Structures are given as structure tokens and as C-alpha cells.
């Protein structure tokens, strides 16, 4: 279901994507597959236009990823959350998210996210 949601999201069919994400979330929750639940919440947050709901989904994803010690998912959720905070002008929370993402990315040697976090921090300092 998550893959179908991503496919519809890629072709700008957000309503259909959200339907598949909801199904993925329900299934992953019902079977106790929390790693998929955390990932689905991230994708749901990215595809919606409601920033407050996206923040809630990403925060929930971070809690689950922390509980599971799933650093990769936590890092990505923090990246996405930081971008949303930046778009809202909430630069303190944005800075906190990107700094946490950078720390995690360095710890797990996730070079792509190290670069993303550094770029996000650079952009933040530029606009502040």
C-alpha cells in the first residue's frame, strides 16, 4: 500500500495517494509493524497540504522511530519536519530539527542526509 501511495504521489494524485497511505497506516498499525507505520507517517506528511497535520504525523513518526531505535527513519522525519518549520518561519524549531538530523546522520554514517542537513542549515542561516 505504501508503494502505491508513493506512485500516486509521484504523479500528483494526492487524494488517491492519501487513501493508500491511510490503508498502509491501518495495516501496519493492526499487525504491529511500527517501522512501516513510522515510514508511512513520513510519506503522508510530505504529500499533504495541511502543515499542522504534517507536523503531527512527523512528530509521531519520530516517537515511533525513537522507540524502535530506527535512526534512518528518525533522521528523515527530522529533515522533513525542519523544512516544514522553516516554511512557517519557526526558525528555532527548524534549527533544532536540522541539528538533530545532522547528528544522527553523522552517527549512522548516512552521508546523503549529512549533506541534506548541512544544506538545510546553510539555507536557514542565510534566511535568518
pTM listed for this prediction:
0.87
Q: pLDDT tens for residues 3-38? A: 998 899 889 888 899 999 999 999 999 999 999 998
User: Radius of gyration (Cα) for the chain, nearest Å?
Assistant: 14
CB under 8 Å, gap of 24 or more: what pairs does 100-106 form? 101/75, 101/76, 104/71, 104/74, 104/75, 104/78, 105/75
Q: pLDDT tens for residues 114-128? A: 999 999 999 999 987
Amino acid at each position: 500500500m505504501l508503494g502505491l501511495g508513493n506512485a500516486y504521489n509521484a504523479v500528483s494524485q494526492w487524494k488517491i495517494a492519501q487513501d493508500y497511505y491511510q490503508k498502509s497506516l491501518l495495516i501496519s498499525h493492526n499487525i504491529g509493524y511500527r517501522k512501516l507505520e513510522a515510514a508511512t507517517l513520513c510519506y503522508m506528511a510530505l504529500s499533504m497540504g495541511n502543515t499542522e497535520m504534517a507536523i503531527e504525523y512527523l512528530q509521531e513518526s519520530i516517537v515511533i522511530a525513537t522507540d524502535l531505535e530506527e535512526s534512518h527513519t528518525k533522521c528523515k522525519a527530522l529533515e522533513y519536519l525542519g523544512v516544514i518549520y522553516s516554511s512557517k518561519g519557526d526558525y528555532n524549531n527548524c534549527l533544532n530539527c536540522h541539528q538533530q538530523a545532522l547528528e544522527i546522520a553523522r552517527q549512522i554514517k548516512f552521508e546523503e542526509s549529512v549533506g541534506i542537513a548541512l544544506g538545510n542549515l546553510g539555507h536557514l542561516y542565510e534566511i535568518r
